[in-house]
Structure 1
Amino acid sequence: MANTEPQLALADIQEPMLNTFWPPAPGWWLLALLLIVLLAYGFRFFWRKWQKALPLRQAKAELRLIKEPHQSAELNELLKRLVHCYSPRHPVLSAPVKQWQDFLQQQLPQQPIPDLQKLLYQQQSEQTDFSGYLQFAAKWLNKVSVKQLEQL
């Protein structure tokens, strides 16, 4: 005999499947790709900027190691190497000491520089001359930017 009760012939109601977050819609994929590209570009931009400033940061670190008057030549070499890093063909790099001193004085006119000829080539350099040159170098390195060094 056939089942005549209508309730027994019905199947259970099945709820529709819920939409989950995965896989995302194509718009989200495009947004994620755009975000990755922007992050990569930003990282590349800041990495290059950081790399360009590396010689200046190293010069500042080296400056902290120079403390004695007999290191006058090292201090002068440090400043010349810094200029050479950013402007390798600058004529002042091979110029006499007087022109080098004039160049430095133009970079920071309000800070006087002692006579470099006397400071660099004298047997015993005076502490006051060395201190003045060291102060000048410290102020210049803290004031100068990479952009200014590239424009020398």
Structure 2
Amino acid sequence: MQESSSAPLQLSDLHLPDVPSWVPLAWGWWATAASIVAFVVIVVLVIRWKRKRLAPKKTALRLLTPSLGIQTPSSAIELLRQAALCYYPREDIAHLTGKEWYAFLDDQIGRPLFVPNETQWQQALYKKQSAVDTKALVEDCYQWINDALPPKKRRHVSVGKH
């Protein structure tokens, strides 16, 4: 038999491969990053659009609060008309007056709020001294702006068009 040498073999050191790099990323990571960026951009655009759309409503509601001084029905109904003009086409509501205007307002919220009080509105708007509860009329304007604006697509109906 042949004797084996007890000397260790002369092997070279192990060469491990380099650690994988993060760059360049695989296409799946790029797709994930692009979808996250697109989602964030869409969310930001929707928030900006919604703020811009609700700005006239928020301004009108802020101006109708009792602490800012709009206490007369004439100034409240004027503010209500301005707010409505921000959301509805001018040709649908600019010509409305009197009963047609009140019918339009009631139609947008789906319940009678202005037509039953038409005589009170006329007295409050055109008489210097009126015995009408002006606070309730201003609150009706506040309630209409809060409930009707921005308009729902199903409620948009022009009333009294010439």
The normalised TM-score by structure 1 is 0.75
Structure with the larger RCO, 1 or 2 (CA within 8 Å, 6+ apart): 2
Which secondary structure does the structure 1 equivalent of 2:152 belong to? Answer: helix
Q: Which has the higher helix share?
A: 1
Task: Label 1:76 to 1:147 Cα distance change in 2 as closer, same or farther (>3 A).
Answer: closer
Alpha-carbon separation, structure 2, partners of 1:120 and 1:95:
16
Task: Label 1:23 to 1:113 Cα distance change in 2 as closer, same or farther (>3 A).
Answer: farther
CA displacement 1:70-109 (0-9 Å, x = unmatched): x222101111001111123244323333322232233443
Query: 1:134 is matched with which residue: 112, 132, 138?
Result: 138
Query: 1:123 is matched with which residue: 123, 128, 132?
Result: 128
1:146 maps onto 2:150 in alignment: yes
CA displacement 1:94-147 (0-9 Å, x = unmatched): 33333222322334434353532211111123351x122122112222222423
Alpha-carbon separation, structure 2, partners of 1:30 and 1:102:
54
- The 8 Å contact of residues 55 and 85 in structure 1, kept in 2 or not, is answered as yes
Q: Please tell me the residue identity of whatever aligns with 2:136.
A: G
CA displacement 1:21-79 (0-9 Å, x = unmatched): 444212201221122123212322332122111111111111113453xx222101111
- The 8 Å contact of residues 59 and 78 in structure 1, kept in 2 or not, is answered as yes
Unpaired runs of 5+ residues, structure 2, are 1-7, 158-162
Deviation at residue 6 of structure 1 after TM alignment: 4.9
Task: Label 1:67 to 1:52 Cα distance change in 2 as closer, same or farther (>3 A).
Answer: closer
Alpha-carbon separation, structure 1, partners of 2:29 and 2:97:
64
Q: Please tell me the residue identity of whatever aligns with 1:144.
A: A
The normalised TM-score by structure 2 is 0.71
Which secondary structure does the structure 1 equivalent of 2:15 belong to? Answer: coil
| Residues 1-152 of structure 1 mapped to structure 2, 5 A cutoff | 6-7=9-10, 10-64=11-65, 65-66=68-69, 68=71, 71-108=72-109, 109-111=111-113, 112-115=116-119, 116-126=121-131, 128=133, 130-148=134-152, 151-152=156-157
Unpaired runs of 5+ residues, structure 1, are none
**4+ aligned runs moved over 4 Å, structure 1:** none
Aligned length: 144
- The 8 Å contact of residues 124 and 130 in structure 2, kept in 1 or not, is answered as yes
Task: Label 1:89 to 1:133 Cα distance change in 2 as closer, same or farther (>3 A).
Answer: same
Alpha-carbon separation, structure 1, partners of 2:149 and 2:83:
12
